[in-house]
């Protein structure tokens, strides 16, 4: 019989619940350092394991993916927002959705969107005033929301952006809070938190419903949503129902702007703290683009820019934890994984593993120059559920970073503290107060 995995000491009754809720990044990072690549935790009555080696990650997310499903507490919490969608569905339901949605993210289709993305970026940057301190994290949320609106949803959502940013932030914080509760309060109880969640979700739903109705009324719209409306499953002939369109639209709205905005904001934060790296990227942008708008063909030449984004996502991956549930008893690395327990893959922790990363805590974009990312790098996940929008996200991120650095040098506001805030994505705890200075 395999051994039980080691783990840090915890409370007799609540295990590691307190540490999980108050400093989950510190808990996971310290446990991996002190106890190895498979660590057992107990969060109240729940048993979970951190797996922190590329071979173990591959075992869970690829080789034995059917043994580790998404019937997890985190998925259940997210489903409160977007119900059954590509993000939360499992089994045949997920496979059908993947077949329907995949063509919408074809590389040739994405190339068509680059100009629209740049228009959205330029519209946002036109509001910036050199020397005026602004919250760049919020600005990136705004620009990526506009991009998702125009390219994915085929709508001008600029008027909705400030409210939706706040509402989405509260929705995700609520979901993360419930994930950390062994016995979350039933949703039907009218607690202040549940009532606020319902109000925020209803407000976002109204935006989604309006966009879908506009598409129904105007069949000429050209967007990923219009492609979904026309999509038919090649195997079954099924199309999306209105309810399913709502779920997928909301998923794309949430996932399509929150994660990229976080990645780009962290890129700017790290570049501002490392002037040599910032100078390298800015020099490349000026050399490749001069003062003109970036074209799609330019992006392959922006190698230092791409490396900086990749390194930012190594240190601060937007999706910092991936959870799965063991359907059957299993064994990883000689340790028992009981059926019903959960397994966490944390890109945040794995991206700092000293066996795979030299000076793992140092921001060094050059580590990605001209090399294929190693197996210990998974900002977009791995296996069958590898992020369907990864090329969309990288196209968007490179365009934003290049266009900003063409026009501005970003300087951190005096005294501003850069620190991570783990929610469902890895946000900046205090926002990102910076002053743009014209080149």
- Segment 376-386 shows an average pLDDT of 94
DSSP string, 234-272: TTT-----HHHHHHHHHHHHHHHHHHHHHHHHHHHHHHH
Q: Which of 24-38, 89-103, 171-185, 355-369 has the lowest mean pLDDT?
A: 171-185
pLDDT at 260: 95
Reduce the DSSP state of residue 169 to 3 states and report it.
Answer: helix
Determine how many CB atoms are found less than 10 A away from the CB of residue 11: 12
Q: Could you state, in order of their start, the residue ranges of all structural domains in the chain? A: 17-438
Asked whether 426 and 292 are in contact (CB, 8 A), the reply is no
Cα–Cα distance measured from residue 182 to residue 165, given in angstroms and rounded to the nearest whole number = 28
Angle at 222 between CA 218 and CA 227, to 5 degrees: 95
Cα–Cα distance measured from residue 102 to residue 194, given in angstroms and rounded to the nearest whole number = 34
Angle at 292 between CA 289 and CA 296, to 5 degrees: 65
Task: Give whichever of 116-120, 147-151, 389-393, 398-402 has the largest mean pLDDT.
Answer: 398-402
Q: Look up the CATH number of domain 17-438.
A: 1.10.630.10
- Has this prediction a pTM greater than 0.75? yes
Choose between 88 and 26: higher pLDDT.
26
| pLDDT above 90 coverage of the chain, percent | 56
pLDDT at 1: 65
358 pLDDT exceeds 80? yes
Q: Find tokens 């100078």 and name the residue.
A: 279
Instruction: Give the model confidence (pLDDT) of 265-297 as tens digits.
Output: 999 999 999 999 999 999 999 999 998 999 888
Angle at 430 between CA 197 and CA 82, to 5 degrees: 30
């Amino acid at each position: 019989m395999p051994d039980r995995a080691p783990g840090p000491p915890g409370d007799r009754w609540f295990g590691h619940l307190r540490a999980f809720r108050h400093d989950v990044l510190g808990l996971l990072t310290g446990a991996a350092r002190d106890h190895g690549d498979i660590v057992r935790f107990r969060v109240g009555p729940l048993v979970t394991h951190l797996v922190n080696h590329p071979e173990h990650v591959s075992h869970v997310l690829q080789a034995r993916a059917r043994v580790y499903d998404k019937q997890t507490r985190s998925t259940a919490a997210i489903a409160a927002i977007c119900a059954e969608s590509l993000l939360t569905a499992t089994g045949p339901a997920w496979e059908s959705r993947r077949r329907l949605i995949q063509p919408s993210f074809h590389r040739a289709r994405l190339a068509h969107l680059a100009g629209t993305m740049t228009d959205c970026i330029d519209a946002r940057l036109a509001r910036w005033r050199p020397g005026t301190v602004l919250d760049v994290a919020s600005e990136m949320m705004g620009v990526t929301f506009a991009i998702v609106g125009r390219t994915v949803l085929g709508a001008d959502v600029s008027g909705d952006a400030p409210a939706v940013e706040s509402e989405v932030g509260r929705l995700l914080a609520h979901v993360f809070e419930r994930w950390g509760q062994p016995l979350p309060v039933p949703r039907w109880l009218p607690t202040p938190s549940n009532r606020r969640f319902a109000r925020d979700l209803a407000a976002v739903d109204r935006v989604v419903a309006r966009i879908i109705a506009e598409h129904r009324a105007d069949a000429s719209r050209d967007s990923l949503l219009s492609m979904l409306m026309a999509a038919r499953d090649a195997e079954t002939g099924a199309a999306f129902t209105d309810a399913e369109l709502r779920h997928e639209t909301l998923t794309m709205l949430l996932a399509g702007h929150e994660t990229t905005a976080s990645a780009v904001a962290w890129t700017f934060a790290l570049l501002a703290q490392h002037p040599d790296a910032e100078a390298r990227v800015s020099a490349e942008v000026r050399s490749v683009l001069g003062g003109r708008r970036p074209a799609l063909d330019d992006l392959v030449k922006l190698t230092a820019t791409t490396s900086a984004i990749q390194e930012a996502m190594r240190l601060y991956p937007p999706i910092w934890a991936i959870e799965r549930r063991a359907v059957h008893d299993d064994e990883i690395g000689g340790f028992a994984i009981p059926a019903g327990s959960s397994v966490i893959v944390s890109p945040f922790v794995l991206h700092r593993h000293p066996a795979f990363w030299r000076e793992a805590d140092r921001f060094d974009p050059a580590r990605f120059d001209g090399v294929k990312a190693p197996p210990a790098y998974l900002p977009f996940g791995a296996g069958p559920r590898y992020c369907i929008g990864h090329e969309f996200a990288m196209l968007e991120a490179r365009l934003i970073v290049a266009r900003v650095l063409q026009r501005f040098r970003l300087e951190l506001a005096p005294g501003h503290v850069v620190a991570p805030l783990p929610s469902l994505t890895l946000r900046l705890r205090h926002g990102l107060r910076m002053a743009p200075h014209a080149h």
